[in-house]
A and B are shown apart, each in its own frame.
Chain A
């Protein structure tokens, strides 16, 4: 109820401001429908209806501006399909405070730019692979299929920027807010293999004592970020630092035995906690603009050193974590883009995710493998990740086809062709397919039975 009061107040504000020509407003209504195309179950997997409203009010020209964006959605698929009933409570409609996507005040004066409030901050140069883009947690209830603007979970923060000279910027982030990254709940179409497996195990036990330990609400538990951006010649670069709580919770499971002479029975105790970590990174981009064989090519790169990244380890045969280990990992990515044949944009990315103990002997005869947190399958000590995206347009940019193929060296990946058509200025239609393949223990392969065809209809105003 409280959220709608907020929206009501917002609209009152809109009415007041509109008359003064200081208000700008837009939004959309959208339906997203998808069908499973794998196996015999070619049935409905999403019927999501979304409304989003955005508005800005210029309190003092461009110097002081208030901006807010709200969003609500309802996925009726959970009403239509009995087998998904269990997930409806969490997956059928928007959760908690997620309805407020942005709510901040901008102050721009000379070299200063302050953005205070709920917002998202994107770091890095990569497309679809979060190397440096770790300031906000992610909503993975539909895996990585949503646009990144919808994937990131906004946080309340102070985003302070100072530009000491042209083309440079120092950004300081102070984030007292905390939200965890969310994954699909058990029985939802894109539930992670590890989540569903844990749920199955939990239901099979007599009793499981599950405790989640969130970071305390003290200032020292805030996340702090720092980014320096500058330009050397025609190369843009950033230096990044992030220090805060890892947004994905980590389980620690122990078996508590009851006393042999009666008393409380034995039970499993699962503690879920968030660990602090640090990220040091850098990014760059450069377009070769001068005549020569490389002219027209854009190079992009991200590099991140994850200090104390909390990871699982254990025996992948039984797919059960034996504990949490803190590793210092490296994740880097290089991307190349170029227009070919007039208006065909080809974009290629290669990334390596290198675990600290990737050297021989890291895994032992006792099968102490590191786990892929999505699946509890064994994680390669050195993961090679590739993506290729080709996009173009026809009919005066009315028809926009695109194909994305992302894959790793483990013969698993995702192929996502789509086409967007502008019916009118305010009505857009998208048709596409997400085809997953690979082993059920791999990130994409776990959804090999969830390949889908989808259609989105968007009405904007």
Chain B
């Protein structure tokens, strides 16, 4: 009897611990002093994927700047709906449509991401050159995201479970200066500095140093290091705080990635943001893709 009681107690404690690990959708979480690296990173991932909001819409531009200063441009309109639905395991759905330049105008990408971190995304493309929908395999995590200086996992697929974490220090971030924007961001922002090590062996980076804003739990800056311990990539994210129904939503408005080896740089600027507009899930279906005109 005693054994059964102890077993029951153990199961209850384990279940309670597991539940505590999962943050509830549509809530706002902020880090606190004394939190572990794991707890801070859970909040960071929660905020990265805007799981505090029901839906988010962006329009913006991406700039690809090579070493010589030559600039290419893409403009996009993006929508996300967060679901966190246990019945089909869907965490959120994203729809990205290229609105320019004309060569890629109309190209659209619909991706469904799942709660299970080991599960790949389901991805459909609308291809203007075929005027049809094409189901495609999810891009590999270490592939460049749309030709940018960050990878697919940097933007859309890396999960909390992919790395192990260690709190290195707490400090005020000295600020990040963007040559492209000619502006300095996040000066003296109090941060946790966390070292993230990938669980995969022989991955394209050996560790990341991530600066997490203590006030809002978002990663504002990170450095990636290769197997030889050499820094090869930096990523800066600029956030704005949106007040929605009395809740503070940190929304990423600016992203700059630099490849220190090639000198190439990518900037993504969100020009407009709409939050919690009551988007219908019908907008994130194959049928919605098939309504494309370009």
Contacts and interface: CB of A to CB of B under 8 A. Distances in A.
Interface of A: 26-28, 54, 56, 65, 67, 102, 106, 108, 113, 115, 120, 122, 125, 127, 133, 147-149, 152, 161, 163, 166-167, 169, 229, 234, 236, 285-291, 295-298, 300, 337-339, 342-343, 345, 393, 396-398, 422, 424-426, 428, 458, 460-461
Contacts of B255: none
B131 A149 contact: yes
Given A113-B291, A396-B149, 13 more contacts: A26-B100, A120-B131, A149-B128, A163-B282, A229-B286, A285-B135, A288-B120, A289-B120, A290-B119, A296-B138, A339-B143, A396-B266, A422-B72
A163 to B, nearest CB: 6
B64 A396 contact: yes
A6 B149 CA distance: 46
Instruction: Classify the interface of chain B: helix, strand, loop or mixed.
Output: loop
A309 B120 CA distance: 42
Contacts of B148: 396
A345 B143 CA distance: 11
5 contacts: A106-B293, A149-B130, A163-B285, A287-B136, A396-B264
How many interface residues does chain B have, given as a range?
A: 35 or more
B103 A56 contact: no
A343 B143 contact: yes
Interface in B100-140: 100-103, 105, 114, 116, 118-123, 128-132, 134-140
Interface in B261-292: 264, 266, 281-282, 285-287, 290-291
A139 to B, nearest CB: 14
Nearest to A397: B147
A156 to B, nearest CB: 17
A147 B143 contact: no
B293 A287 contact: no
Given A287-B135, A393-B147, A425-B101, A147 B64 contact: no
Interface of B: 64, 66, 72-73, 100-103, 105, 114, 116, 118-123, 128-132, 134-140, 142-144, 146-149, 264, 266, 281-282, 285-287, 290-291, 293-294
B137 A337 contact: yes
B146 A397 contact: yes
Contacts, number: 135
Contacts of B266: 396
B122 to A, nearest CB: 6
